Amino acid sequence: MTVSLKAELHVDGKVFELPVVQGTEGERAVDTRNLRSQTGLITLDPGFANTGACRSAITFIDGERGILRYRGIPIEELAEHSNFLEVAHLLIYGYLPTEQTLERFSQSVRLHTMLHEDFKRFYGALPKDAHPMAACSAAVGALATFYPDCLDPRDPRQVEISVHRLLAKLPTMAAYAYKHSIGQPFMYPDNRRSYVENFLYMLFGTPCEEYVVEPVVAKAIDLLFILHADHEQNCSTSTVRLVGSSMVNLFACISAGINALWGPRHGGANQEVIHMLVAIRDEGMTARQFVERAKSKDDTSRLMGFGHRVYRNYDPRARVIKKACHDVLGRLGVHSKLLEIAVELEEIALSDEYFIERKLYPNVDFYSGIIYNAIGIPATMFTPMFAIGRLPGWLAHWIEMHADEDFKIGRPRQIYDGATLTHYHEAERH
Ligand code: CMC
């Protein structure tokens, strides 16, 4: 909603009025879209730290107060009462489904879990030690070659089928990547199982033995997927939007999102957290020594799983995951040295002036890996699991962007600060 407030900008002795836009939770933004045509100025905001790229009705975050809501519903309530497919429906369609609607949606997703048989050769061509994120992004991109009749972002039916295919196939793709890396046969999906159980079955099952999923494990993974399902304009979601703004097909956009998520400053942090905890355990370092390294300007180490661009308070997802971590490990009877180290790191960091001053708190990645680890999921699979969780958010944003009346290709500007006109024959050579 646009309110009648205006911001004034004084430039070269002239006053320009800029509209102020307000969201439903009271956030306000100066609308600068006509700034350049009116004043010749552009905005400069490295990392888009203070730039709203769009309006969105999907997820609300208040980083100062540590609030996260999907479609208005607090994350804590969804974590307690919902399940991942219901949350996916909520994000993508904008409302909670009735029992019947959810069953129809789940059934449609179930129908698409299998991969084309040729994907076996596709995975076979990858090195055994290929990171599963690379395999997943390549496999998702390759879906565009298998479904050339479903690539038009303006065709609602093609989009809907692609959305259901992606939700269904990404867990199969991630599980295949893992099976390939350990040399075990690919397990076809078993569609009698729930979404999460099916994923665990494809990951851990073998054709030789019956695989029974422990309910506590399935519940924990479902919870983690819910907590990862969306986080408004984060790096990978913004990537999906930016790539999608060129009108390329959905598969290409999600493949790009997976790649963006892989980086250690983003979703790749969950794998890095475990590496950090294992290094502290195995190298005989104390938690305090590591915190000192993370603070030092002469050391590139960061306290992984700490800090967030938006949260200047405890990440509400980390709060839920920390509790779940204690619960799940307790129920599985796992005593984890890594959890002890993590708790100690948190205590030290939260009372350390460096972290207090910069408002650095545990984020979603700090405790999630400890749960994965206790369940027996290898560290390289942590970020693919983040991707499975985040997929509904990417899809919801992609759909919302295409329906937006302000939709246009994403194309930031820049302030050029390179060489001024230099003729070819005068240019320095080195
Ligand atoms: N350990 C030590 N110092 C840190 C950390 C950390 N984890 N995070 C930020 N800082 C310091 C940073 O060095 C800087 O200090 P100074 O002002 O003296 O230069 C200050 O805090 C601000 O950091 P920034 O990098 O400018 O902040 P940002 O908002 O651009 O970055 C972040 C946010 C998440 C990339 C960063 O906090 C970080 O690298 N954290 C570790 C990686 C991580 O856990 N990432 C997962 C993020 S949550 C899930 C997700 O998005 O996937």
CB neighbour class for 428 (10 Å; exposed up to 12, middle 13-18, buried from 19)? exposed
Residue 204 pLDDT exceeds 90: yes
| Cα distance between residue 356 and residue 39, in whole Å | 40
- Whole-number pLDDT of residue 90: 98
112, 164, 308, 397: the catalytic one is: 308
* Residue closest by Cα to atom 41 of ligand 1: 304
Which DSSP string do the residues of 153-186 spell out, in sequence order?
Answer: TT-HHHHHHHHHHHHHHHHHHHHHHHHHHHTPPP
366 CA: nearest ligand 1 atom: 44
DSSP SS3 for 74: strand
Give yes or no for a contact between 48 and 232, defined as CB atoms under 8 angstroms apart: no
Q: How many CA atoms, within 13 angstroms, populate the side-chain half-sphere of residue 55?
A: 19
265 lines ligand 1 (CB under 6 A): yes
Residue 11 pLDDT exceeds 70: yes
363 CA: nearest ligand 1 atom: 48
Confidence of residue 5 (pLDDT cuts 50, 70, 90): confident
302 CA: nearest ligand 1 atom: 1
Maximal CA-CA distance, the chain: 80
75-134: per-residue pLDDT in tens? 999 999 999 999 999 999 999 999 999 999 999 999 999 999 999 999 999 999 999 999
Name the residue of 45, 224, 302, 311 to mutate for ligand 1: max ligand atoms within 8 A of Cβ: 302
164, 230, 365, 397: the catalytic one is: 365
Residue 3 pLDDT exceeds 90: no
Confidence of residue 282 (pLDDT cuts 50, 70, 90): very high
Q: Which amino acid is at 379?
A: A
371-415: per-residue pLDDT in tens? 999 999 999 999 999 999 999 999 999 999 999 999 999 999 999
What does DSSP say about strands 28-30 and 59-62: parallel, antiparallel, or unpaired?
unpaired
Confidence of residue 22 (pLDDT cuts 50, 70, 90): very high
Interval between CA 386 and ligand 1 midpoint (Å): 19
Q: Indicate if 190 belongs to the active site.
A: no
What does DSSP say about strands 28-30 and 14-22: parallel, antiparallel, or unpaired?
antiparallel
312 lines ligand 1 (CB under 6 A): no
The pLDDT of 168-174, averaged and rounded, is: 98
Q: Indicate if 308 belongs to the active site.
A: yes
| Cα distance between residue 403 and residue 109, in whole Å | 23
The pLDDT of 326-341, averaged and rounded, is: 94
